[in-house]
Structure 1
Amino acid sequence: MKTNIEKKDGKTIVTLEGELDTMAANEVENALKPLMESQGEEIIIECKGLEYIASSGLRILLSILKNVMATGGSITLRNVNDDIKNVFNLTGFVKLFKFE
């Protein structure tokens, strides 16, 4: 699992590549910890290379979303494939996140 965070045009762009499964969850959570402390930022999570997401991955994204929204920020999930979008639909998370 590859995770990259960069600042671009006043936004934070997070790129996720690979499988966000239970084994990768701790590594990804540690890599994304700076997002937990963001204050009112606009965060875009690029999911074009994300092939799979487990419940542990959903938990990480939900935790980040709660912290970001509490400070007036936003999260947008970009280029989510149909299989992963289906997971968001089945869990009801599709109502919580913005998708592009």
Structure 2
Amino acid sequence: MEFSQDRSGETLVINASGRVDGSNASDFLESLQGMFDPGDQKIILDLGGLEYISSAGLRVLLMAAQNLDKQNKSFSICSLTEAVGDVFRISGFDQIINVFPSVDDAQQG
């Protein structure tokens, strides 16, 4: 799992690549939370480079979304690959977390 980030004003875009499963889900959560800044109001997680996500990874995303919601911050996900998008649709996560086709769409949404 690799990350990069880009901050513009109050918007943080995090790019994630690799795989998220039970063996690295806790590291995934720690890494995500370590990137959030108190001034960030909109967090966009770009999963275009993510090859695989397990239920443990979905739990991490749900926990991050709930935590940010409690802080009245916007959280969205974008650029899902076909395989990861299938997992989101089958699990219903696309109904729980805002999912957009691209970073630009997420910034507008």
1:18 Cα deviation (Å)? 0.4
Partner of 1:72: 72
Contact 1:44 1:78 in 2 (8 A): yes
1:4 Cα deviation (Å)? 2.7
Contact 1:14 1:45 in 2 (8 A): yes
SS at match of 2:29: helix
CA RMSD, Structure 1 to Structure 2 (Å) = 2.0
Q: What letter matches 1:33 in structure 2? A: Q
TM-score when normalising by structure 2: 0.80
1:53-64 mapped onto 2 (5 Å cutoff): 53-64=53-64
Q: What letter matches 2:32 in structure 1? A: L
1:30 Cα deviation (Å)? 1.4
- After superposing the two structures, state which structure 1 stretch, 25-34 or 13-22, moved more: 25-34
Identity in percent: 24
Aligned equivalents of 2:66 and 2:76: distance in 1?
Answer: 13
Runs (5+) with no aligned partner, structure 1:
none
Contact 1:16 1:46 in 2 (8 A): yes
Contact 1:18 1:52 in 2 (8 A): yes
Instruction: Give CA deviations for 1:13-70 in whole Å, capped at 9, x if unaligned.
Output: 1111001111121221211123678577210001110010011110100001001112
Partner of 1:47: 47
TM-score when normalising by structure 1: 0.86
Structure 1 runs (4+) deviating above 6 angstroms are none
Q: Aligned residue pairs: how many?
A: 100
Contact 2:41 2:73 in 1 (8 A): yes
- After superposing the two structures, state which structure 1 stretch, 68-77 or 53-62, moved more: 68-77
Runs (5+) with no aligned partner, structure 2:
101-109
Aligned equivalents of 1:63 and 1:37: distance in 2?
Answer: 17
Q: What letter matches 2:44 in structure 1? A: I
Aligned CA distance change for structure 1 residues 39 and 68 (closer, same or farther; 3 Å): farther
SS at match of 1:80: coil
